[in-house]
């Protein structure tokens, strides 16, 4: 890792040159919500002026730039001689992602563990990931963010360049030779002792600005104990099975595969589409049997995947604490409330079985 400092004016010039020469995506305001607050999304940009560098959080994550909602995996064509040809392509155009927050970069690192470093790596994801240049930026958390509770409020890998706001300049963490080469054309300096102090103060400010905390200590084992808790049914009764939580989540990667015939019936395409374990037919198998028929069952297994299953396999929860799911949920279901409900129930059970104090 190399550390440099760049004035904000020069940084905007650097970004402007970068996006004019490459396919680039950055945060842009696309709407306002019911409270008049801006709604941001990662959109294609052609100049630095189009980027909202001071944005809060995008409604959906950058996951869809690496894992499209729907993509064609292959195409089959039938020949006149009765045989058939298959066309498979793993090509991906180089792209630049600008302004990703630490939790979103952590989410990409988690996806890398599954889709690049797992037993069955995805060549489609690999093509996009290896052709993606990531520029991260720090930020002050929103009131409902709890990424500090999961230790995703800082990040040290998964990016090419990371920018920390230290006033009139950015403190740069340069994590690739490509990023360093790009920066050579602009005025950058080595950090001074004052810059280092400003960086430390900035990180302290971010750390102490979190208003929401979720107790996740021992959560995988705790979820095992609460497997049959009525709390799952309580929250499951509110779930609409719409799958919105999985669509905005930066780490949900479950998908479905379908084959769509061409209109002339001389070919077909195999398509991959992101899916959600909260949708009614997710666990339905041949013959019509559904292993998770109830809303509470489906909601429970989504939480188990996020806070237990992945932790058992890779020693970390898959959730990064962005709370996009809680913000987007039409039924106002969010991880903090569900986990707190489970803990309160467990603590009340412990209180009930504690022995009475001895008489004096």
Q: What is the pLDDT of residues 288-312, one digit of tens each?
A: 898 888 888 899 989 888 888 765 5
Alpha carbon distance 276, 241 (integer Å): 9
Question: At residue 345, does pLDDT exceed 80?
Answer: no
pLDDT of residue 351: 43
- Residue 359 covered by a domain: no
Residues with Cβ within 8 Å of 55's Cβ and at least 6 positions away in sequence, in order, are 27, 29, 38, 40, 99, 139
Alpha carbon distance 334, 304 (integer Å): 14
Per-residue pLDDT, averaged over 133-162, amounts to 93
Distances 210 to 104, 197, 336 between C-alpha atoms, Å: 17, 21, 14
Closest to 250 in 3D by CA, of 42, 32, 87 = 42
Domain that holds residue 324: 219-350
Return the axis-axis angle of helices 102-115 and 123-130, rounded to nearest 10°. 140
Give the DSSP letter of residue 58: B
pLDDT of residue 356: 42
Residue where one domain finishes, among candidates 174, 207, 240: 207
Question: At residue 337, does pLDDT exceed 70?
Answer: yes
360 falls in which pLDDT band (50, 70, 90)?
very low
Are 49 and 88 found together in one domain? yes
Q: Are residues 145 and 327 in contact, defined by beta-carbon separation less than 8 angstroms?
A: no
Are 11 and 160 found together in one domain? yes
Are 42 and 125 found together in one domain? yes
Are 269 and 324 found together in one domain? yes
Alpha carbon distance 177, 2 (integer Å): 10
- Residue 357 covered by a domain: no
Q: Are residues 129 and 158 in contact, defined by beta-carbon separation less than 8 angstroms?
A: no
Question: At residue 349, does pLDDT exceed 60?
Answer: no
Residues with Cβ within 8 Å of 129's Cβ and at least 6 positions away in sequence, in order, are 66, 108, 112, 115, 116
Alpha carbon distance 202, 196 (integer Å): 10
Alpha carbon distance 320, 250 (integer Å): 8
- Range from 14-23, 158-167, 210-219, 237-246 carrying the lowest mean pLDDT: 210-219
User: Other CB atoms closer than 10 Å to residue 232's CB: what's the count?
Assistant: 24
Global pTM reads 0.89
Q: What is the mean pLDDT of the chain?
A: 89
SS3 call for 359: coil
pLDDT of residue 6: 95
Q: Are residues 237 and 295 in contact, defined by beta-carbon separation less than 8 angstroms?
A: yes
The model's pLDDT over 190-242, given as tens digits with 9 standing for 90+, comes to 999 999 999 999 999 999 999 999 888 878 888 888 888 899 999 999 999 99
Question: At residue 7, does pLDDT exceed 90?
Answer: yes
The model's pLDDT over 60-100, given as tens digits with 9 standing for 90+, comes to 999 999 999 999 999 989 888 888 888 888 888 999 999 99
pLDDT of residue 283: 86
Question: At residue 355, does pLDDT exceed 90?
Answer: no
Are 165 and 295 found together in one domain? no
pLDDT of residue 33: 87
Task: Go through 41-61 and write b for each residue having 16 or more CB atoms within 10 A of its CB, e for each that does not.
Answer: bbbebeebebbbbebbbbebb
Are 10 and 118 found together in one domain? yes
Per-residue pLDDT, averaged over 182-190, amounts to 92
Question: At residue 101, does pLDDT exceed 50?
Answer: yes
pLDDT of residue 35: 85
pLDDT of residue 348: 62
Question: At residue 123, does pLDDT exceed 70?
Answer: yes
pLDDT of residue 315: 59
Residues with Cβ within 8 Å of 325's Cβ and at least 6 positions away in sequence, in order, are 244, 245, 246, 248, 249, 333, 334, 335
Q: Which two tokens stand for residue 28?
A: 């842009």
Are 195 and 237 found together in one domain? no
Q: What percent of the chain has pLDDT over 70?
A: 94
Q: What percent of the chain has pLDDT over 90?
A: 61
pLDDT of residue 61: 92
Domain count, the chain: 2
Residue where one domain finishes, among candidates 185, 207, 229: 207
Are 197 and 341 found together in one domain? no
Alpha carbon distance 73, 124 (integer Å): 8
């Amino acid at each position: 890792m190399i550390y440099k400092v760049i004035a904000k004016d020069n940084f905007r010039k650097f970004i402007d040159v970068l996006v004019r020469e490459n396919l680039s995506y950055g945060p842009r305001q696309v709407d306002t919500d019911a409270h008049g607050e801006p709604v941001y999304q990662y959109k294609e940009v052609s100049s630095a002026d189009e980027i909202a560098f001071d944005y809060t959080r995008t409604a959906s994550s950058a996951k869809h730039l690496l894992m499209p909602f729907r993509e064609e995996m292959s195409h089959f064509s039938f020949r006149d001689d009765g045989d058939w040809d298959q066309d498979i392509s793993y090509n991906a155009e180089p792209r630049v992602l600008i302004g990703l927050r630490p939790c979103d970069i952590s989410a990409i690192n988690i996806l890398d563990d599954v889709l690049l470093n797992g037993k069955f790596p995805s060549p489609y994801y690999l093509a996009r990931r290896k052709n993606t240049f990531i520029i991260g930026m720090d930020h002050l958390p929103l009131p409902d963010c709890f990424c500090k509770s999961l230790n995703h409020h800082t990040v040290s890998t998964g990016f090419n360049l990371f920018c920390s706001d230290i006033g009139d300049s950015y403190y740069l963490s340069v994590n690739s030779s490509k990023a360093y080469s790009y920066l050579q054309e602009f005025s950058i300096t080595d950090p001074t002792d004052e810059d280092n102090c400003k960086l430390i103060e900035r990180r302290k400010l971010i750390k102490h600005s979190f208003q929401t905390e979720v107790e996740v200590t021992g959560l995988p084992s705790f979820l095992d104990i609460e497997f049959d808790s009525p709390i799952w049914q309580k929250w499951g009764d509110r779930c609409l099975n719409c799958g919105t939580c999985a669509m905005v989540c930066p780490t949900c990667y479950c998908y479905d595969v379908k084959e769509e015939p061409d209109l002339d019936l001389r070919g077909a395409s195999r398509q991959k589409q992101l899916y959600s374990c909260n949708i009614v037919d997710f666990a339905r198998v041949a013959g019509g049997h559904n292993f998770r028929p109830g809303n509470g069952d489906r909601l429970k297994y989504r939480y188990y995947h996020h806070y237990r299953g992945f932790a058992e396999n890779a020693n970390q929860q898959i959730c990064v604490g962005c709370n996009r799911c809680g913000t987007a949920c039409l039924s106002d279901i969010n991880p903090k409330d569900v986990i707190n409900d489970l803990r309160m129930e467990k603590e009340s059970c412990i209180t009930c079985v504690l022995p009475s104090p001895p008489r004096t």
